[in-house]
């Protein structure tokens, strides 16, 4: 199915498939290609409307009977570390961060495979080979960075984060780390460090991807103060996660043509 207007990007809908986050739910995505001279501006604009990047594609959930996935970002001006987050930073303060251009290495892939085999052995990325991994890291038409975290005691690669640089924040595309160091809370440390980076360079937000209430994989994002979520076509401060009802019980999504018609493109009004 294709929905488009002259000159505007073309938007498509994926075929329905099983949801990776909630049992008995069916997933469907709205997506468009990310390419050309306008790629950075398009990514900036659509990220503010709940879209995420995967290589040369921008997408957001468009499920027929469920709206449990909501885009989440941290408003850095309102973020305050919890006691456990402060302990996490102290526990990992020895790590050395190195920022590089998006270039995949064998050492990264080895760590990626260990992480997947331990944490997501049955997930959608479980069979990703080295060439697909390189594509995930390197195929980006926008400003992206790879952050490597190493332990100076043995110079080992401990964690990696692929991050997009937007005009209003950092967007964490994918991260992975040594699974045997689960007590170090490396996933939390990466987010805390990205908040520090965004603050240092004067960007107001850190985009975390989708928060999914009731999902073990995606529910952790509610633990960060200053969290905002995107629903009803705008960003809102995160309400009490336990009381939040914008989930699988809500009315179905709007028709695709209406969704596309409300999308705002760079320097323009909604394309409808």
Residue 38's DSSP bridge partners are: none
User: How many other β-carbons are positioned within 10 Å of the β-carbon of residue 249?
Assistant: 9
**pLDDT reported for residue 4:** 47
**pLDDT reported for residue 202:** 98
| Phi, then psi, of 146 in degrees rounded to 5 | -105, 125
- Owner of token pair 């073309």: 10
**pLDDT reported for residue 121:** 56
- In which order are the strands placed within the sheet that holds 234-237? 96-100, 144-151, 156-165, 169-177, 205-212, 69-75, 227-231, 234-237
Q: Which domains does the chain show, CATH number per domain?
A: 2-71+210-261 (no CATH), 76-205 (3.40.630.30)
Q: pLDDT tens for the chain, 272 residues: list them.
A: 555 444 578 999 999 999 888 888 889 999 999 998 899 999 999 999 999 999 999 999 998 888 888 999 999 999 999 999 999 999 999 999 999 999 999 999 999 999 998 876 566 677 889 999 999 999 999 999 999 999 999 999 999 999 999 999 999 999 999 999 989 999 999 999 999 999 999 999 999 999 988 777 777 888 899 999 998 889 999 887 666 665 544 435 678 888 888 899 997 655 54
Instruction: Give the C-alpha separation, 156 to 107, whole Å.
Output: 9
**pLDDT reported for residue 272:** 46
* Nearest in space to 95 (alpha carbons), one of 17, 180, 167, 158: 158
**pLDDT reported for residue 123:** 63
Instruction: Give the C-alpha separation, 121 to 200, whole Å.
Output: 36
Instruction: Give the C-alpha separation, 11 to 258, whole Å.
Output: 12
Instruction: Tell me the H-state helices in 53-208.
Output: 83-91, 106-119, 130-138, 186-200
Instruction: Give the C-alpha separation, 187 to 85, whole Å.
Output: 11
* Nearest in space to 215 (alpha carbons), one of 56, 106, 68: 68
**pLDDT reported for residue 249:** 43
**pLDDT reported for residue 153:** 94
Strand 234-237 relative to strand 227-231, pairing? antiparallel
């Amino acid at each position: 199915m294709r929905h488009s207007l002259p000159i505007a990007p073309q938007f498509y809908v994926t075929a329905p498939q099983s949801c990776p986050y909630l049992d008995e739910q069916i997933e469907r995505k709205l997506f468009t290609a990310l390419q050309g001279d306008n790629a950075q501006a398009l990514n900036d604009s659509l990220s503010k409307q709940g879209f995420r990047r995967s290589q040369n594609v921008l997408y957001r959930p468009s499920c027929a009977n469920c709206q449990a996935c909501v885009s989440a970002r941290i408003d850095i001006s309102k973020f305050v570390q919890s006691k456990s987050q402060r302990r996490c930073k102290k526990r990992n303060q020895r790590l050395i961060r190195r920022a590089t251009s998006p270039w995949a290495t064998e050492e990264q892939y080895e760590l990626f495979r260990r992480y997947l085999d331990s944490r997501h052995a049955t997930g959608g990325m479980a069979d990703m080979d080295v060439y697909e991994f390189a594509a995930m890291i390197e195929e980006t038409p926008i400003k992206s960075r790879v952050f490597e975290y190493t332990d100076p005691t043995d110079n080992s690669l401990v964690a990696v984060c692929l991050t997009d640089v937007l005009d209003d924040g950092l967007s964490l595309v994918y991260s992975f780390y040594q699974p045997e160091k689960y007590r170090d809370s490396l996933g939390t440390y990466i987010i805390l460090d990205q908040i520090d980076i965004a603050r240092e360079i004067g960007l107001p937000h850190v985009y975390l991807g989708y928060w999914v209430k009731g999902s073990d994989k995606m529910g952790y994002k509610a633990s960060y103060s200053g969290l905002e979520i995107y629903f009803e076509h705008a960003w809102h401060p995160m309400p009490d996660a336990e009381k939040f009802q914008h989930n699988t019980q809500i009315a179905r999504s709007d028709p695709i043509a209406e969704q596309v018609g409300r999308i705002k493109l760079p320097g323009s009004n909604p394309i409808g």
